[in-house]
Chains A and B, each alone.
Chain A
Amino acid sequence: MATFYQLDFEKPLAELDERIAQAEKASPPAPVPAFGGLENAEAGVTNPKGSSESQALRAERDAMLRKLYENLSPWNTVRVARHPDRPQTRDYIARMCRDFCELHGDRRYGEDTAIVTGFGRIGNRKVLIVGHQKGKTTQEKLGCHFGCAHPEGYRKALAKMELAAKFGVPIVTLVDTPGAYPGLGAEERGQAEAIAVNMREMSRLPVPIVSIVIGEGGSGGALGIAVADRVAMLRNSWYSVISPEGCAAILWKQANEQTNTAAAEALKLTANDNLALGIVDAVIDEPVGGAHRDPQGAAEHLQGWITAQLDELTGLEPQALMDARYERFRKLGSFDELPLDAANA
């Protein structure tokens, strides 16, 4: 069986896998799904050769997997969102796009591989894809700073989005970053300005924009490419103003397992919470057990949602599109409005 990064709440699952392996040693082995994904029961495939014991165990395992992922705590959701095998922007591009034409560089300072940009075709539709890339290999991770973009990354994103707007090409952005890079060079070159300008300009681009948080939606670094007509989150992603660790360190004065758990809950960072707050418009389901168990399935869900949104948005007048986008963000916030005379009393 493939070695597989294991989250601690999945331990009971691993024990079951062990027992299944032992049971199958005794009787003829059934095909093992890649990365231990959901068994083939759904597809109607049975394992005529498997013993009844291993079949029972597999059923038990599938039920457990489903249950574990249906009841993920916010903190465990964050950990699934950071799973090293979770599909990233380049994985989705490879699975959703034909003929991807990557475009590099911000024409000002450099090329930031923490944000990938380029034209591609989703179905029969031309789009510009913009997405954070955290990296898979150690070398790639170091090269793109674990998905923490520098100002040149944000400026590259904007430059390519403006290019797309020039030719009426809709924009799809995939958000997956712990946050914008906190470093010397990033500050010197105007990290804050780059993010701010992106938000301002995205609000007035005359083409459809759809954004999906595919993993981590860390604060301004995420929002810097996520001012869109429609915003969605994958089921096991998170999106908030700060990471649970950062929040715990500031408000609880220390970051440990306990305070991280508390902060993750307090921040209301899950897909469902963000949907309830109106911050995102939809939650896209992942295959059972998370996108990392079935990247192809996740990509299909993602593509289905993107296509549906672009179908709705294409054909709208640019001004109507921009007005609706403005209103979408304009109404976000929660406050009481008192009658003026009462307020001044």
Chain B
Amino acid sequence: MQDNGPVAQTVGTGKDDSMPPTATRTWADLKQDQPASRRSIPEGLWLRCPSCAQMIYRRQMESNQHVCPECNHHYRIGAAERIRQLADTDTFVPMFTNLRAKDPLSFTDLKAYPDRLRAEQIKTGQNEGCQAGELFIKGRAAVAACLDLTFMMGSMGSVVGETLTRAIEHATQKSLPLVIVSCSGGARMQEAGLSLMQMAKTSAALARFDDKGGLFISVLTDPTTGGVTASFAMLGDVILAEPQALIGFAGPRVIQQTIRQELPEGFQRSEFLLKKGMVDRVVHRHQLRSEIARLIDYSGV
């Protein structure tokens, strides 16, 4: 039962302005949908689950791998927490931490890109939106890379693309299994064409990894969209997805504007992709480590 991830209960008021947990959420909601800690009760001991609306004790949620103890809603987590959950204790060795973004286009929208970067670095205490390194998962050595949604929506610019590519190349050289955990708004607009090229770069690196017989497990988490989905994320030998994660190429709002009709219930959610044959398994966060470990064992790497 737990394996498939219980469906979140709708507690909406039934009004149009409420935010149902499935289907009709839009891009604009993605931002509001950050861990509830950010929004409602900043330093609070208690928080209201956005899915089941229960008041839950924050510590209890956090010690439950950031999963709601009432309804199994999977909270979004950053790369550091993801690695903590994935790796055997004290086995993670970070790599490629010396890459820093530049501003090759002198990109300015309402804010200059370097200012945006600095603000994100201060906010998150991280240099970029991806962490990679070697680790052990239940005793199996692997290379892992995790995107970080808290840093510019996990968007892929040159540094993220380069970090991923180096991780892939490292796994190729060392003949280690590769795990990439994705969560991203897509390619980073502030590096425009160069961000786009990271899609080709990572995909080409995966071709070489594949040529060498490497095992790539791609883990899709909420949300995985745009140029990230349309490159390495969908190229896993095995593709796992966390329950209820939004996964797609185009955003729901764009699609709605194109087809001018209501999107079906659960559209672009993990369970929908499972039904359409696009992912191998929907895996509860509690089982992720053991699922990865047994896939490594089956592939005999």
Interface set of A (CB-CB < 8 Å, partner B): 180-184, 186-193, 195-197, 199-201, 203-204, 219-220, 223-224, 227, 239-242, 247, 250-253, 262-263, 266-269, 273-274, 277, 279, 325-326, 329-330, 332-340, 342-344
Query: Can you show 15 pairs from A to B with CB atoms below 8 A apart?
Result: A182-B249, A182-B258, A184-B259, A187-B250, A227-B200, A242-B187, A266-B109, A266-B192, A267-B193, A277-B194, A279-B194, A330-B204, A334-B191, A337-B100, A343-B98
User: In the complex, what distance in Å separates the CA atom of A279 from the CA atom of B41?
Assistant: 46
Q: Are the CB atoms of B201 and A277 closer together than 8 Å?
A: no
Interface set of B (CB-CB < 8 Å, partner A): 97-102, 104-105, 107-110, 127, 158-159, 161-162, 165, 187-189, 191-201, 203-208, 210-211, 226-227, 229-235, 248-251, 254-255, 258-259, 263-264, 267-268, 276-278
User: In the complex, what distance in Å separates the CA atom of A330 from the CA atom of B101?
Assistant: 17
Q: Are the CB atoms of B255 and A227 closer together than 8 Å?
A: no
Chain B interface SS verdict (over half): helix
Question: CB-nearest residue of chain A relative to B111?
Answer: A251
Q: Are the CB atoms of A192 and B234 closer together than 8 Å?
A: yes
Question: CB-nearest residue of chain A relative to B116?
Answer: A251
Q: How far is the CB of B247 from chain A (nearest CB, A)?
A: 8
Q: Which residues of B contact A268 (CB under 8 A)?
A: 105, 192-193
Q: Which residues of A contact B107 (CB under 8 A)?
A: 266
Q: Are the CB atoms of A203 and B196 closer together than 8 Å?
A: no
Q: Are the CB atoms of B204 and A336 closer together than 8 Å?
A: no
Q: A200 and B194 in contact (CB under 8 A), knowing A182-B255, A192-B233, A266-B105?
A: no
User: In the complex, what distance in Å separates the CA atom of A69 from the CA atom of B295?
Assistant: 58
Which one of A192, A201, A342 has the highest number of Cβ atoms from chain B below 10 Å of its Cβ?
Answer: A192
Q: Which residues of B contact A223 (CB under 8 A)?
A: 196-197, 199-200
For the A-B complex with A268-B192, A335-B100 known, give 16 more contacts whose Cβ atoms are closer than 8 Å.
A180-B250, A182-B254, A184-B264, A187-B255, A190-B278, A192-B230, A192-B249, A193-B278, A196-B203, A196-B232, A220-B230, A263-B109, A333-B158, A333-B162, A342-B98, A343-B127
List of 6 A-B pairs having minimum Cβ-Cβ separation, nearest first:
A182-B250, A343-B98, A333-B158, A203-B204, A334-B104, A251-B109
Q: Are the CB atoms of B201 and A329 closer together than 8 Å?
A: yes
Q: A199 and B199 in contact (CB under 8 A), knowing A182-B255, A242-B189?
A: yes
Q: Which residues of B contact A201 (CB under 8 A)?
A: 207
Q: Are the CB atoms of A340 and B97 closer together than 8 Å?
A: yes
User: In the complex, what distance in Å separates the CA atom of A168 from the CA atom of B7?
Assistant: 51
Question: CB-nearest residue of chain B relative to A219?
Answer: B196
User: In the complex, what distance in Å separates the CA atom of A250 from the CA atom of B263?
Assistant: 22
Q: A252 and B235 in contact (CB under 8 A), knowing A182-B254, A191-B230, A269-B192?
A: no
Q: Which listed residue (A193, A334, A342) contacts B194, Cβ 8 A?
A: A334
Q: Which residues of B contact A262 (CB under 8 A)?
A: 109
Q: Which listed residue (A196, A247, A336, A339) contacts B235, Cβ 8 A?
A: A196
Q: How far is the CB of B149 from chain A (nearest CB, A)?
A: 17
User: In the complex, what distance in Å separates the CA atom of A183 from the CA atom of B276?
Assistant: 15
Which one of B211, B264, B278 has the highest number of Cβ atoms from chain A below 10 Å of its Cβ?
Answer: B278
Q: Which listed residue (B194, B226, B255) contacts A332, Cβ 8 A?
A: B194
Q: How far is the CB of B1 from chain A (nearest CB, A)?
A: 26
Question: CB-nearest residue of chain A relative to B204?
Answer: A203
Q: Which residues of A contact B207 (CB under 8 A)?
A: 200-201, 203-204
Q: Are the CB atoms of A196 and B231 closer together than 8 Å?
A: yes
Q: Are the CB atoms of A337 and B98 closer together than 8 Å?
A: yes
Q: Which residues of A contact B231 (CB under 8 A)?
A: 195-196, 199, 220
Q: Which listed residue (A181, A184, A239, A337) contacts B267, Cβ 8 A?
A: A184
Q: A340 and B98 in contact (CB under 8 A), knowing A187-B268, A277-B104?
A: yes
User: In the complex, what distance in Å separates the CA atom of A276 from the CA atom of B104?
Assistant: 10
Q: Which residues of B contact A273 (CB under 8 A)?
A: 193
Q: Which residues of A contact B248 (CB under 8 A)?
A: 187, 192
Q: Which listed residue (B193, B234, B263, B278) contacts A269, Cβ 8 A?
A: B193
Q: Which residues of A contact B159 (CB under 8 A)?
A: 333, 335
User: In the complex, what distance in Å separates the CA atom of A242 from the CA atom of B127?
Assistant: 25
